[in-house]
Structure 1
Amino acid sequence: MTGARPLALADATEVLLEYAAAIDERDWGRLHHCFTPDCTVRYDDRRLTGSTAVAEFMGRVHRRIQSTLHRITNVRLDPSAPTATTAYVDAILIRRHPAADSVLRVAGVYHDTWAPFGDEWRIAQRHYRTIWREGSLDPAASRGQDGRGF
């Protein structure tokens, strides 16, 4: 971005909503474009480098999940860091099984740092932290085993 303008809340929100829609619609190319090519990302303990790695990881994670609904809320600019945002995510993931569907609901926080890329802003660094989860994608979890999401 030539003569970079400050990151606006609307810029960040638009990309975050694209990110959520790309996952829900399984559009990994669109997801790839939410991040800088050399981004660094942490989803809890998983570390990824590069937008291609992020898109491939999400594709693998969601391969056996038939339906998802990602809601992103409370997007805020960090007043002490002009290219940083915080946002909440509430995601419902549904895996279809013949006997019964498995549902995992996860809530967490995205801490993102943004970088100009051409005429737009993209996520350059992300740290996601799960703060709550309920359910499991593992049908065996209903028999007392722990089923983890990511």
Structure 2
Amino acid sequence: MTLEEISDRLEIQELMVEYCYAIDTRDWDALDEVFTPDAVIDYTEMVGVKGTLPEIKAFLAQSMQVLRTTQHIISTTKLKIEGDHAYGKTICTNPMVLQPDGHVMVVGLWYRDEFVRTPKGWRISSRYEENCWRYNVPPGLLPES
């Protein structure tokens, strides 16, 4: 690996971490530093919505009110870098605690991402959440897989 590829990989990994922290701390505006302004974010398999960054930020702010807390845990990223574009698939395990009773559920998914190098660094230009498994999810809370 060249030093540039090592640097690119570290920057993309940091971008993925920033996404997790933005979601878990509910800092929706921090997502502006994670995604490109024209990003398409497709959560259809997981929560039944697909949209632009502003649409997804509004959706998250409203929909996550039913959750007391979340903890996005990412690992095992497979990354292919082609110049100023990159493609990745990353495992995420996400335990969530529901309001108000503290019910705990967990989902496993893959992030399938397209990244682009911008003047401000790497950003996600397209994200697709692919369902893998679900545990202890109350009936009707999430779309059927």
Question: More helix per residue: 1 or 2?
Answer: 2
- Which residue of structure 2 aligns with residue 149 of structure 1? 142
- Which residue of structure 2 aligns with residue 87 of structure 1? 90
1:111 is displaced (CA, Å) by: 0.7
In 2, Cα distance between equivalents of 1:36 and 1:110: 16
For structure 1, the 5+ residue unaligned runs are none
In 2, Cα distance between equivalents of 1:124 and 1:79: 14
Query: What secondary structure sits across from 1:11 in the alignment?
Result: helix
Quick check: which has more Rg, 1 or 2? 1
1:80 is displaced (CA, Å) by: 7.5
For structure 2, the 5+ residue unaligned runs are none
Identity of aligned residues (%): 24
1:131 is displaced (CA, Å) by: 0.6
Structure 1 segment 24-63 matched on structure 2, within 5 A: 24-43=24-43, 44=45, 45-49=48-52, 51-63=53-65
Q: Structure 1 runs of 4+ off > 6 angstroms?
A: none
1:23 is displaced (CA, Å) by: 0.8
TM-score (norm 1): 0.79
Query: What secondary structure sits across from 2:66 in the alignment?
Result: coil
What is the aligned length? 135
- RMSD value, Cα: 2.2
> In the alignment, residue 24 of structure 1 is paired with which amino acid?
D
- Which residue of structure 1 aligns with residue 125 of structure 2? 124
